[in-house]
Structure 1
């Protein structure tokens, strides 16, 4: 009897482990070959205490209609697919850098056989690297589409302490810093660029 109970318990554990470890097959995300919603992201640095070794960027996309995505095993949750693409920033002035993005870069289509998935931009980031610090301001969907500016403030002390690896996303207000006189800013502005 003990052996049968032991075997039953082991089999149940195996089933549970398999079910919890089950993963939904991820679709092959396709790029839109004819994107038309083009925007330029302009990054302007003001008052930085020094230079940055490199400037990179990325843009995040997410499926916005969960009804096109099958439920995950066991939990029954809907996990919308997400993806990230690089943004190339090029120098456009002494303290200005420009990068081009497409809001409609990911192809809307029926990825799971239950309806068309619609993709949308979540946001775009500019990554200013100094030492081991990534100063990473972001601009999000509504500000990109609305062609608005977003300012993030960073501490000069953070710039000076670049030997510790970290991502610094800054703050929306100078008053968030104890030493408001020792801050610099990075402004991200979105501008639509008709094709």
Structure 2
């Protein structure tokens, strides 16, 4: 699915979840999501931090999953919106030398199942999200579904000044274009890429 569509879906879901109980009229039963007993789609995610002014306190990664076929999910009462189930799973990262981190995940980690009596819901990866933590500042980057499965790397750039302002509580998503900074030479980058691995 196109990454722009995934972002729109995520934004719509977030807006709905922010609505009070009275606006939705009722709540949906939360499905009992099970892990796939025999996952086969194993991927390795590689994170490279280049030219950072110093070390980070920690680097974390998570994989976001969402039911891809909305037809298996009933409409919510009153609002009439379809809010597909989502799940966020952490990735265990290992330091692979220098400024490189690696971790593994399964794209088919979750069990496809008929949760609502409307047909089998099929899970899909939405994105792999990474945050490099420095003080109260989180330097965030994501690689989305289409780029994951096409083995396309994604690089985002951040100002060195932001690294120095680490007592500011902020999720800093950077910029994909280094030339957009006032002084491009005073920036660092985080590059993400995923590659399928044979079992």
Tell me if both proteins adopt one fold, taking TM over 0.5 as the criterion: yes
1:99 maps to: 103
Q: Which runs of 5+ in 2 are unaligned?
A: 1-20
1:30 maps to: 34
Aligned residues of 1:19 and 1:73 also touching (Cα < 8 A): no
- Separation in 2, partners of 1:19, 1:159: 41
Candidates 165, 169, 172, aligned match of 2:173: 169
Aligned residues of 2:25 and 2:78 also touching (Cα < 8 A): no
Structure 1 segment 147-166 matched on structure 2, within 5 A = 147-166=151-170
Over aligned residue pairs, what C-alpha RMSD do you find? 1.3
- Separation in 2, partners of 1:164, 1:181: 23
Structure 1 segment 19-168 matched on structure 2, within 5 A = 20-168=24-172
SS at match of 1:33: coil
Aligned length, in residue pairs: 179
Query: What's the CA shift string for 1:7-29, capped at 9, x where partnerless?
Result: xxxxxxxxxx7674411111111
SS at match of 1:136: strand
Per the TM alignment, residue 103 of structure 1 is displaced from its structure 2 partner at its CA by: 0.7
SS at match of 1:184: strand
- 1:188 maps to 2:186: no
Q: Stretches of 4+ moved more than 2 A in 1?
A: 17-21
TM-score by length of 1: 0.88
Per the TM alignment, residue 114 of structure 1 is displaced from its structure 2 partner at its CA by: 1.3
Query: What's the CA shift string for 1:24-56, capped at 9, x where partnerless?
Result: 111111111211101101001110000001111
- Name the larger-Rg structure: 1
1:13 maps to: none
Query: What's the CA shift string for 1:71-126, capped at 9, x where partnerless?
Result: 10111111111110001111001110001111111111101111100110000012
SS at match of 1:137: strand
